[in-house]
């Protein structure tokens, strides 16, 4: 069904019954006749992230479609899901929107899901981009090699949903500036990220506010992060379509090595390293990523 204000922001979008009783929610930005790009949100997150994303889409002439993953935002929770289950949901949404072709962009925690779509090889999928996408975390020592900013979160995630839930509750509902809150996490980002946040009005407030992501509780958000510590369920080396990777050289959330390793595994890939850039750089670099993706 269509709902012209699913997000509360006056955006086109709606919810789709994907066939097993679950609803998949999405919003759209930009012109309806532009190239259709699915934007896969980070973790924790949902389709409602930063208003600047919509502004970039409109300026670039891109139809940017932002779906919520199961259990995030307004999409129904899906028990026992895996990362490689996501392409079937996306294909169902592409069917519903009657898309002859589409592109996929995965940001941060959405990166593995974008690669899963590339591996699934829907013939309508033209090309994929991954910005600051987290790499596999199921290998021995992978989590320990993360930086302090999010190592504790993923260590808890590896122990299971129950261990992660209190951390997610603090991120979502902790008072601004309190230990473990989203505001505290943003404040701990390096100077490169702080500069981007300060230079874009409203970005700080919108990054901190996870209320739209946790509208159904924190279980879905915790599950989404837990999955990043589990096997992806596909071989990146099997991907046959083109994938563009992007990374900031001073990213402390997702180390540059993650993107170096992934780009080395995916046969037809490119890697762009943004100099003197942190994790938030991907948001303000969206126009160039979209232009290259759909050129």
Tell me how far apart the alpha carbons of residues 183 and 168 are, in angstroms, rounded to a whole number.
13
Of 190, 167, 189, 197, the C-alpha closest to 179 is 167
Residue 186: is its pLDDT beyond 80?
Answer: yes
Tell me how far apart the alpha carbons of residues 13 and 96 are, in angstroms, rounded to a whole number.
12
Residues 6+ apart with CB under 8 A from 288: none
The predicted structure's pLDDT at residue 101:
98
Residue 194: is its pLDDT beyond 70?
Answer: yes
Rounded percentage of the chain residues whose pLDDT exceeds 90: 85
Angle at 282 (CA atoms; ends 150, 237), nearest 5 degrees: 80
Cβ proximity of 43 and 108 under 8 Å: yes
Enumerate the H helices of 41-181 as residue ranges. 51-60, 86-96, 111-120, 148-159, 161-173
Tell me how far apart the alpha carbons of residues 171 and 182 are, in angstroms, rounded to a whole number.
5
Tell me how far apart the alpha carbons of residues 160 and 2 are, in angstroms, rounded to a whole number.
36
Q: What is the pTM of this model?
A: 0.95
Tell me how far apart the alpha carbons of residues 110 and 129 are, in angstroms, rounded to a whole number.
10
Residues 6+ apart with CB under 8 A from 10: 4
Q: Could you tell me the CA-to-CA distances from 82 to 119, 245, 252 in Å, in that order?
A: 14, 22, 26
What the block records as the tokens of 246 is 């992007």
Residue 2: is its pLDDT beyond 50?
Answer: no
Q: Could you tell me the CA-to-CA distances from 139 to 156, 161, 162 in Å, in that order?
A: 16, 19, 21
pLDDT digits (tens, 9 = 90+) for 97-109: 999 999 999 999 9
The predicted structure's pLDDT at residue 29:
96
The predicted structure's pLDDT at residue 180:
81
The predicted structure's pLDDT at residue 175:
72
Rounded mean pLDDT of 50-59? 93
Rounded percentage of the chain residues whose pLDDT exceeds 70: 96
What the block records as the tokens of 55 is 């502004």
pLDDT digits (tens, 9 = 90+) for 65-90: 999 999 999 999 999 999 999 999 99
Start-to-end Cα distance in the chain: 31
Tell me how far apart the alpha carbons of residues 266 and 181 are, in angstroms, rounded to a whole number.
36
The predicted structure's pLDDT at residue 6:
44
Q: For residue 110, report the phi and psi dihedrals to the nearest 5 degrees.
A: -85, -10
pLDDT digits (tens, 9 = 90+) for 258-283: 999 999 999 999 999 999 999 999 99
**What strand order describes the sheet that includes 125-131?**
13-17, 23-29, 63-67, 36-40, 102-107, 125-131, 243-248, 269-274
Rounded mean pLDDT of 200-213? 91
DSSP class of residue 133 equals -
What the block records as the tokens of 291 is 């232009």
């Amino acid at each position: 069904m269509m709902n012209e204000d699913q997000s509360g922001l006056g955006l086109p979008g709606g919810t789709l019954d994907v066939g097993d009783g679950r609803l998949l929610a999405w919003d759209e930005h930009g012109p309806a006749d532009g190239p259709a790009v699915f934007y896969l949100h980070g973790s924790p997150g949902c389709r409602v992230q930063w208003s600047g994303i919509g502004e970039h889409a409109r300026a670039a002439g891109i139809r940017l479609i932002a779906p919520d993953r199961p259990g995030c935002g307004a999409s129904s929770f899906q028990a026992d899901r895996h990362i490689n289950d996501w392409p079937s949901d996306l294909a169902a949404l592409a069917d519903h929107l009657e898309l002859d072709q589409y592109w996929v962009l995965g940001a941060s925690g959405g990166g593995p899901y974008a690669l899963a779509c590339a591996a699934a090889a829907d013939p309508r999928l033209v090309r994929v981009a991954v910005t600051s996408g987290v790499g596999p975390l199921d290998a021995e020592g992978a989590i320990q090699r993360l930086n302090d900013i999010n190592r504790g979160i993923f260590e808890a995630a590896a122990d299971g949903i129950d261990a992660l839930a209190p951390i997610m509750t603090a991120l979502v509902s902790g008072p601004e500036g309190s230990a473990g809150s989203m505001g505290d996490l943003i404040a701990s980002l390096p100077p490169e990220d702080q500069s981007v946040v300060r230079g874009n009005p409203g970005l700080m407030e919108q990054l901190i506010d996870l209320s739209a992501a946790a509208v159904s509780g924190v279980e879905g958000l915790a599950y989404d992060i837990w999955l990043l510590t589990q096997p992806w369920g596909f071989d990146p080396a099997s991907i046959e379509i083109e994938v563009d990777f992007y990374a900031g050289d001073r990213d402390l959330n997702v180390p540059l090595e993650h993107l170096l390793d992934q780009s080395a595994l995916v046969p037809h890939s490119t890697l762009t390293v943004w100099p003197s850039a942190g994790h938030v750089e991907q948001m303000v670099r969206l126009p160039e990523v979209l232009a290259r993706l759909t050129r």
